[in-house]
Amino acid sequence: MASIGMLGRKIGMTQIFNNAGMAIPVTILKIGPCTITNIKNQTLKKNINVQIGYQYINPQKLNKPQIGTFNKLKLPCFKYLKEYKTSIDELNKLNIGEALTVKQLNIGNYINISGISIGKGFSGYQKRHNFSRGPMSHGSKNHRQPGSIGAGTTPGRVFPGKKMAGRMGGKKVTIENLEILDININDNIIIIKGSVPGKKGNIVYIYKK
C-alpha cells in the first residue's frame, strides 16, 4: 500500500509504563478510516496528488457543486477533504474509493502530525515571545511593558514582523518524528509517544515518513 497521509481526531493524553517501569507520556489518536476521493496525475512531475475524505456527512449540509462531485465519483459525502503528495511510482497501487485504515501503519513507525494548536487569546510579550520582564523593585515603571519598538525619525515606522503582543496559538503546528507505540486495528486507535497539537476532539493530519 502506498504511503500517504490520513486524517483523524485527538482523543486525549495519558501515560504508559515500559518494561523498565519508566512512565512515558502518550497521546491517543483515532485515525480513519479514510477514503481516496481523487487522484491528480500531472504530467512532467514526479509526484501525484492524492485527495482523501474523512467523516461521512449528510448531503443536505453541502452545496450542489460539492454533492455533484461526490455523485460523479459514486462516493458518499465527506466532511473533511485533504490532499497529500506521493511518488508517481505509487499510481498503480491507488484506486478511487479505496479505504485507508491504521493497517497501513506499523508499531515503531515515525510519523509527522499536524493540527491547530490551542488558542490562548490575546497575550503579552512575556507569555507570547518569552521576553524577560523589567525590574520589579519600587519605582520601576517597566514591569511588563514592551519598551522601545523602534527608532523615531528614521525609519519613522515599526518594521513588519516585530514581535509584539497579540493573539497566541490557534495556528497550524506540525510535530515531526513521533513514534507509534501501539495500534488497535479494531477501533482505529494508535498511541503516539509525546504530545500532539490541539485540544481533545481536534482534527489531526498524519503523514508516514
The CA-atom distances, in angstroms, between 149 and each of 6, 134, 152, 166 are 43, 15, 9, 14
Mean pLDDT of 164-192: 94
Give residue limits of the domains in the chain: 6-119+171-208, 120-168
Q: Which residues contact 131 (CB under 8 A, 6 or more apart)?
A: 125, 163
Q: What is the DSSP letter of 194?
A: S
Give 76-87 as a DSSP string. --EEEEEEEEEE
Torsions phi, psi for 29 (to 5 deg): -125, 140
pTM for the model: 0.82
| 6-119+171-208, CATH topology level | Elongation Factor Tu (Ef-tu); domain 3 (2.40.30)
C-alpha cell at 174: 506540525
Q: What does the pLDDT look like over 17-59, one tens digit per residue?
A: 988 999 999 999 999 899 999 888 766 677 888 899 999 999 9
Q: What is the DSSP letter of 60?
A: G
**Percentage, residues of the chain above pLDDT 90:** 68
Mean pLDDT (the chain) is 90
C-alpha cell at 91: 499510481
Residue 148, judged by CB atoms within 10 A of its CB (0-12, 13-18, 19+), counts as: exposed
Residue 10 scores a pLDDT above 60? yes
Beta strands in the chain (DSSP E): 6-17, 23-31, 34-40, 47-56, 78-87, 99-100, 110-116, 121-123, 166-168, 172-184, 189-193, 203-208
Residue 1 scores a pLDDT above 70? no
Q: CA torsion angle for 31, 36, 37, 42 (degrees, to 10)?
A: 120
Longest Cα–Cα distance in the chain: 73
3-class secondary-structure state, position 61: helix
Residue type (1 letter), 74: K
C-beta separation of 83 from 48 below 8 A: no
Q: What does the pLDDT look like over 83-123, one tens digit per residue?
A: 988 877 777 778 888 899 999 899 999 999 999 999 999 99
